[in-house]
A and B are shown apart, each in its own frame.
Chain A
């Protein structure tokens, strides 16, 4: 599988000139993103997500370690022609939306009728076609974020790097972004998505990585991570809630979980008691549970500010 983004043992320290203090934002961070996937990049505030993204975009240089973006070292301007980037808290010039998108497209070497058509098309994709001639300086934060998204996709990029793309959006716009990401993946593009909206990530991402204190704390396929080990959830009807330890009664059914090897035994007990089995499913955890587990575990990452 072709790799589109690679971090190889990257460390980034911020140094304060006056106090000589150093803050290690990334500590031996390694990660690879494969072509054609939607990759979720998670972590609490200050974990180093934005630093990692800014390193990949070439805004900063790593203190140590290397990285590659679409096969080129971080910071190669020509490579960015094939990348779409949306920064956290997007800030754009105060211009009419269509002109703004055309400006950013032109910076990527686009021109003429193709650029005009594409600018109109991406504004339509983000639902701003009726506001194309309005000054972006007068837009709400959500609309600004959508213009930001439009400028990120105007060059039809191979790789989309999005830092909190849905933070200011209403639910309808979030659905629009979700569709945009899924369409991008279906078209063979890669999406690197940093977000705090775990439910969104859970819905669209093929793989996720959790960053904690500058280190990679957990990474894997979303489906694998959400699988809660060997637990099975059994939902039954017509038995007393007291029959199984930890069982919960709700809406006329009783649900409980058992280790998978004990599943048969539990089902037989239900039948022996005259109960009716409604469903048996492998127990799934939410990404939120995993996130909380990882970020609460002091062993999951040990990087910190160093004096």
Chain B
């Protein structure tokens, strides 16, 4: 477990600059929200809050899809995998690292959301529920992206992830809503995006639990694939 935590923390640390930029963006928007007339512009505030939520979903795919590629390209993966670290542990560290990075962002968004949309009348407890939905969606999306990145370059991994996450949502539109729960990233995202002051949305834990289980399943699948992948690195 210790190597997993070390790799996860190290990954989150390596993402500190994009994370800081995202956090500053959240803080800036929260500040602008607070200096404006909260009650007159509450719908705008909620829109910005949702927009920030969409960003982290996209970033989780970016983090997950590029993690292995960046480590291989920089050749840093060699020093890590030359230690008593199994491939499965290494991937676990990356999944946990992506989740930590997204959790930091979700926490910041939850805090600023509580100040802004909370002050405008949105239930604060529901802000945090939405953040849990968002984090579950990010963890799953990041893990799917990581799985594809074990054998595809980041560009194709992101495309394949978008397809895998989007197809159930599309099926949900045409074949019935339960199809949307096959891979519930879209459903979880919809919970955040469709919430409003009038109808904050129902707090269903089912898609969150399902996302957790699927994150585990995709992690196992990634570990299985990664065990057979050659760690070829660029030669200078």
Contacts of B84 in A (CB 8 A): 77-78, 80-81, 107-109
Number of A-B contacts (CB under 8 A): 75
**Distance in angstroms between the alpha carbons of A60 and B227 in the assembled complex:** 10
Q: Are the C-beta atoms of B74 and A91 separated by less than 8 Å? A: yes
Contacts of B82 in A (CB 8 A): 57, 80, 83, 85, 87
* CB of B157, distance to nearest CB on chain A (Å): 15
Given contacts A91-B76, A106-B2, contact A61 B230 (CB under 8 A): yes
* CB of A280, distance to nearest CB on chain B (Å): 47
**Distance in angstroms between the alpha carbons of A108 and B6 in the assembled complex:** 11
Q: Which of B79-124 contact A (CB under 8 A)?
A: 79-86, 89
**Distance in angstroms between the alpha carbons of A85 and B82 in the assembled complex:** 6
Q: Which of A41-89 contact B (CB under 8 A)?
A: 50, 54, 57-61, 77-78, 80-81, 83, 85, 87-89
Contacts of B2 in A (CB 8 A): 106, 109, 111
* CB of A63, distance to nearest CB on chain B (Å): 10
**Distance in angstroms between the alpha carbons of A60 and B81 in the assembled complex:** 11
Q: Are the C-beta atoms of A87 and B75 separated by less than 8 Å? A: yes
Contacts of B43 in A (CB 8 A): none
Q: Are the C-beta atoms of A57 and B81 separated by less than 8 Å? A: yes
Given contacts A61-B230, A89-B236, A93-B14, contact A104 B79 (CB under 8 A): yes
* CB of B2, distance to nearest CB on chain A (Å): 7
Q: Are the C-beta atoms of A81 and B232 separated by less than 8 Å? A: no
* CB of A166, distance to nearest CB on chain B (Å): 16
Interface: A256 (CB within 8 A): no
Q: Are the C-beta atoms of B231 and A104 separated by less than 8 Å? A: no
**Distance in angstroms between the alpha carbons of A88 and B85 in the assembled complex:** 20
Q: Are the C-beta atoms of B6 and A106 separated by less than 8 Å? A: yes
Interface: A277 (CB within 8 A): no
Contacts of B7 in A (CB 8 A): 107
**Distance in angstroms between the alpha carbons of A104 and B86 in the assembled complex:** 14
Of A81, A88, A90, A148, the residue contacting B83 (CB under 8 A) is A81
Contacts of A155 in B (CB 8 A): 83
Q: Which of A1-57 contact B (CB under 8 A)?
A: 14, 50, 54, 57
Q: Are the C-beta atoms of A60 and B6 separated by less than 8 Å? A: no
Interface: B58 (CB within 8 A): no
* CB of B35, distance to nearest CB on chain A (Å): 37
Interface: B201 (CB within 8 A): no
Closest residue of chain B to A85 (Cβ to Cβ) is: B82
Contacts of B230 in A (CB 8 A): 59-61
Interface: B20 (CB within 8 A): no
Closest residue of chain A to B236 (Cβ to Cβ) is: A89
**Distance in angstroms between the alpha carbons of A104 and B84 in the assembled complex:** 10
Interface: B235 (CB within 8 A): yes
**Distance in angstroms between the alpha carbons of A87 and B77 in the assembled complex:** 10
Given contacts A90-B79, A109-B2, contact A61 B228 (CB under 8 A): yes
Interface: A194 (CB within 8 A): no
Q: Which of B186-230 contact A (CB under 8 A)?
A: 228, 230
Q: Are the C-beta atoms of A87 and B10 separated by less than 8 Å? A: no
Interface: A294 (CB within 8 A): no
**Distance in angstroms between the alpha carbons of A1 and B14 in the assembled complex:** 45
Contacts of B79 in A (CB 8 A): 85, 87, 90-92, 104, 148, 151
**Distance in angstroms between the alpha carbons of A109 and B6 in the assembled complex:** 11
**Distance in angstroms between the alpha carbons of A93 and B78 in the assembled complex:** 12
**Distance in angstroms between the alpha carbons of A174 and B235 in the assembled complex:** 23
